[in-house]
């Protein structure tokens, strides 16, 4: 059982990251905990097929992604939303001139951290249709490479890139809408040429 | 050498560390000489940091890790 004990100890360090991503996937704390438990159980049982020395973190995220897609997704009664409105390139960047400067007096990096609340960022991710949400989570939040994400989702790398691109733009638009709702934006400041 | 349009088109891949070393260096060279593109780069890098920081700022449910260990322990004992 030595290898299995190692699994528990090694895998446990990734539990908090897995939980955060599971929560963005399921949008529900109880389902997220179930998803992480199921991921660990599957990992534990499939441990013989895990190659020592390969990336345990990527392996766990792959199991979790597949479990989510196969189980939770199929439970959802909502129609599959695969379409996403096309958003122009550099959407948010081109609108930064409309943000009320008096409410943004920190340094540039802090500014971005202050500009949106945790809830807004979480909601923006969770509002994405699953097809886009999962690659965005795996890349922007978990930092996996295109190749790793392509393997996890069993789609070509080009598909990962296009879903990331469209998903990120849609997320930026969502963040902009949240900022507008909070009164941080004065659109009359935008250069009409933009 | 990369121009502004190419740099902006490839900014996302550059931020994802998915460009070849040669291409990444061309983008870096362009960014060093172009304030506009440098601004776009910094904006997206900062946005990426903010998203990652905020999306992972999550408290674990009370007793979460214990329950996780327990469920693996139960599996060993065949109480699945």
The CATH code of the domain that includes A7 is 1.10.1740.10
Do A110 and A175 fall into the same domain?
yes
Sign of the torsion angle spanned by Cα atoms B53, B49, A22, A10: negative
Q: Is the pLDDT of residue B77 over 70?
A: no
CA atoms within 13 A on the CB side of A36: 28
More confident residue, A193 or B62: B62
Asked if B44 contacts B11 with a C-beta cutoff of 8 angstroms, the reply is yes
**Which residues constitute the domain of residue B34?**
4-77
Mean pLDDT of A51-75: 85
C-beta atoms of A12 and B65 within 8 A: yes
Question: Is A84 part of a structural domain of the chain?
Answer: no
Mean pLDDT of A61-88: 75
Do A71 and A97 fall into the same domain?
no
Question: Is A53 part of a structural domain of the chain?
Answer: yes
A183 φ/ψ sector (left φ>0, alpha ψ -120 to 50, else beta): left
To the nearest whole Å, the CA of B30 is away from the closest chain A CA by 18
Burial degree of A32 (CB within 10 A; 0-12, 13-18, 19+): buried
Residue A56, both tokens: 């345990």
To the nearest whole Å, the CA of A26 is away from the closest chain B CA by 14
**Which residues constitute the domain of residue A103?**
93-189
Do A105 and A182 fall into the same domain?
yes
What share of chain A in percent tops pLDDT 90?
58
Do A54 and A99 fall into the same domain?
no
Using 50, 70 and 90 to split pLDDT, how confident is the model at A79? very low
Question: Is A117 part of a structural domain of the chain?
Answer: yes
Question: Is A88 part of a structural domain of the chain?
Answer: no
Burial degree of A151 (CB within 10 A; 0-12, 13-18, 19+): middle
Do A50 and A101 fall into the same domain?
no
To the nearest whole Å, the CA of B51 is away from the closest chain A CA by 6
C-beta atoms of B16 and A146 within 8 A: yes
More confident residue, A63 or B79: A63
Q: How many domains does chain B have?
A: 1
Do A7 and A42 fall into the same domain?
yes
Q: How many domains does chain A have?
A: 2
Do A25 and A63 fall into the same domain?
yes
Q: Tokens 């304030």 identify what position?
A: B35
How confident is the prediction for chain B on average, in pLDDT? 91
The yes/no answer to whether this complex scores an ipTM above 0.85 is yes
Do A105 and A183 fall into the same domain?
yes
- Which residues of chain A neighbour B71 with C-beta distances below 8 Å? 37, 40-41
Do A122 and A155 fall into the same domain?
yes
Mean pLDDT of A105-120: 77
Domain-terminating residue out of A11, A42, A75: A75
- Which residues of chain B neighbour A1 with C-beta distances below 8 Å? 76
Q: For residue A162, give the CATH number of its domain.
A: 1.10.10.10
Question: Is A28 part of a structural domain of the chain?
Answer: yes
Question: Is A137 part of a structural domain of the chain?
Answer: yes
- Which residues of chain B neighbour A28 with C-beta distances below 8 Å? none
C-beta atoms of B43 and A24 within 8 A: no
């Amino acid at each position: 059982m030595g290898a299995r004990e190692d699994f528990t100890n090694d895998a446990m360090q990734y539990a908090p990251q897995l939980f955060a991503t599971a929560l963005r996937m399921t949008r529900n704390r109880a389902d997220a905990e179930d998803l992480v438990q199921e991921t660990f159980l599957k990992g534990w049982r499939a441990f013989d097929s895990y190659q020592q020395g390969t990336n345990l973190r990527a392996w766990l995220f792959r199991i979790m992604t597949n479990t989510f897609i196969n189980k939770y997704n199929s439970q959802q009664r909502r129609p599959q939303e695969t379409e996403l409105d096309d958003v122009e390139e550099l959407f948010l960047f081109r609108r930064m001139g409309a943000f009320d400067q008096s409410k943004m007096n920190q340094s540039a990096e802090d500014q971005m951290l202050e500009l949106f609340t945790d809830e807004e960022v979480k909601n923006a991710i969770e509002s994405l249709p699953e097809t886009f949400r999962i690659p965005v989570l795996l890349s922007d939040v978990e930092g996996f490479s295109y190749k790793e994400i392509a393997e996890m989702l069993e789609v070509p790398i080009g598909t990962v890139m296009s879903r990331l691109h469209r998903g990120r733009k849609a997320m930026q638009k969502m963040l902009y809408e949240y900022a507008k709702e909070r009164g941080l934006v004065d659109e009359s400041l935008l250069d009409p040429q933009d | 050498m990369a121009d502004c349009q190419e740099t902006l088109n490839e900014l996302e891949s550059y931020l994802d560390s998915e460009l070849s070393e040669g291409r990444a260096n061309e983008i870096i060279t362009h960014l060093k000489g172009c304030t506009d593109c440098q601004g776009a780069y910094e904006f997206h890098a900062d946005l990426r940091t903010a998203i990652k920081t905020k999306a992972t700022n999550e408290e674990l449910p009370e007793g979460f890790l214990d329950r996780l260990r327990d469920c693996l322990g139960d599996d060993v004992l065949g109480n699945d």
